[in-house]
Every structure is written in structure tokens, then in C-alpha cells.
Amino acid sequence: MEILPLIFVALVAIEHLYILVLEMFMWTKPRTLKVFGMSKEDAQTSKALATNMGLYNGFLAAGLIWGMLHPNAEFGQQIQLFFLSCVLVAAIVGGLTAKRSIMIVQGVPALMALAAVLIL
């Protein structure tokens, strides 16, 4: 497999690991409040939900990493395509239901990685 698709996939995985940390461990911290544009009160109320969302982001990152490291490159590529598609769908739904910028912040990198895996 070419190196460029792996770089793009790795960046998407790293982004989702970062989101996992924000949602699971730093949900009520000032940095996270700013990133997600919410009040301290909203963060306290939604802390359990955020932990769950963070776990799902971790699953996406784990799937992408699994695809990158799979010993069978062809099967690894299929795994990457599946998880990148999941990220893209989640970004679209998040952008339509929660915050439009999710489509840009999560969707564009996923789309670029998806295109790189398919084309290169």
C-alpha cells in the first residue's frame, strides 16, 4: 500500500483518539467547553453521554488502526474503507443534527482519506 493513504488514515485515527480523550476524560474542562461550544452546566448534565460518545470515537480509531496494521494489505484496505465510511456517515449526521462544523472537521479528513485509499 502507498504511504500517502496510510498518512491520511492515521490522521483520521489520531483525530478520533483526540476526540475520545476530550469526550471521555476532559468533558468538563475549559478547553473542551470551548471546542464544543457549551456551558459548564451543559457539560455536567451530558457527561455520561459524552463518555459513551468518546468510546464510539475510540472504536472508530481502533478500527482504522487495525486496518492499517492488518498483515493482509488487501483486507486491511477493506477494513479502512469500512471505518472511513463510518466516520464519514457520522460526520454527516453530526453536521446535520448537532453542529455543522462537524462535517468539515471530521468529514473532510475522512473523505480525503477515503479517496486516497480508493485511488492510490
Residue-by-residue DSSP string for 42-85: HHHHTHHHHHHHHHHHHHHHHHHHHHHH-SSHHHHHHHHHHHHH
Q: Which residues of the chain have pLDDT under 50?
A: none
Domain ranges of the chain: 3-119
pLDDT digits (tens, 9 = 90+) for 42-66: 999 999 999 999 999 999 999 999 9
CA atoms of 32 and 40, how far apart (whole Å):
10
User: pTM score, two decimals?
Assistant: 0.94
